[in-house]
Amino acid sequence: MRGLVHGATARVQPPRIPTGVAALDALLGGGLARGALTEIVGRPSSGRTTTTCVLLRAVTAGGALAACVDLPDAFDPAHAAGAGVDLTHVLWVRPRTTRDALQAAEHVLEADGFGVVVVDLDDGRAARTVPASQWMRLTRAAARTRTAIVTLGRENIAGTFAMVRIELQRRAAAFERGGPCPSFTGISAAVHLRKYKLGAPTTASVAMTAAAGW
């Protein structure tokens, strides 16, 4: 009937942060969702660093603040700056444990004023069990402040609390063979949508290519 919407299926789409990468925006339904948890998983060298820089660049380019909670101490400011990230708008937190990382993320979310909070939990060891109460506090804080929260890891750790989960798989590295030795020019990766609770996705997988400066 015209004018009526079934309550069980009605969805209000969250505002998005366009990443500026057409393939990634298509996969994410228009960009990174504010107020929701997006989980990015993949093996080392699968493109997680590149994707992180893309998200941080998208937020800081508009003058908004971003935070990187960096458990493995893998964030490279010089690399990020070369990828177009405005470091003057980035808060870099270097916790010692998974618990410290999640508590730091919660404090940052509660402070409000951030466009995205990236939480890298890949310290090279097996994913630890995180209490559901911790994820619940994080997702509630993100929803309340309309902040996009992104977790990084080798495998699923956020469980049912992730609204979106994408998996990165490295395809190939590109080299330029002119000169005495080949020089690295970029990397291509397959990006697969493994979970999407924000409506019907427009696509299930895309290819993304990044230049060496990213």
Cα(65)–Cα(108) distance, integer angstroms: 11
What does pLDDT average to over the chain?
A: 85
Distances (CA, A) of 151 to 7, 33, 103, 115, 173: 30, 13, 13, 14, 25
For residue range 3-54, list pLDDT tens digits in order. 444 444 445 678 999 998 888 898 898 999 999 999 999 988 888 888 899 9
Superfamily for 16-211?
P-loop containing nucleotide triphosphate hydrolases (3.40.50.300)
- Beta strands at 183-196 and 164-176: parallel, antiparallel or unpaired: antiparallel
Q: Do residues 16 and 34 lie in contact, with contact meaning Cβ atoms separated by under 8 Å?
A: yes
For residue range 51-80, list pLDDT tens digits in order. 899 999 999 999 999 999 999 999 999 999
Which DSSP helix (H) or strand (E) runs through 134?
A: helix 132-145
Cα(87)–Cα(97) distance, integer angstroms: 24
Q: Do residues 92 and 75 lie in contact, with contact meaning Cβ atoms separated by under 8 Å?
A: yes
Residue 188 CA neighbour count, 13 Å, CB half = 7
State the helix-helix crossing angle for 98-111 and 132-145, rounded to 10 degrees. Answer: 20
Domain boundaries, the chain: 16-211
Q: Do residues 146 and 34 lie in contact, with contact meaning Cβ atoms separated by under 8 Å?
A: yes
Backbone angles phi, psi at 142, to 5 degrees: -65, -45
Six-digit token string for 125: 């060891």
Which DSSP helix (H) or strand (E) runs through 98?
A: helix 98-111
Q: Do residues 64 and 115 lie in contact, with contact meaning Cβ atoms separated by under 8 Å?
A: yes
For residue range 176-204, list pLDDT tens digits in order. 666 666 544 456 778 899 999 988 777 78
Q: Do residues 55 and 166 lie in contact, with contact meaning Cβ atoms separated by under 8 Å?
A: no
- The larger pLDDT score, comparing residue 165 to residue 209, is at 165
Cα(73)–Cα(54) distance, integer angstroms: 18
What is the SS3 string spanning 11-69?
CCCCCEECCCCHHHHHHCCCCEECCCEEEEEECCCCCHHHHHHHHHHHHHHCCCEEEEE
- The larger pLDDT score, comparing residue 31 to residue 207, is at 31
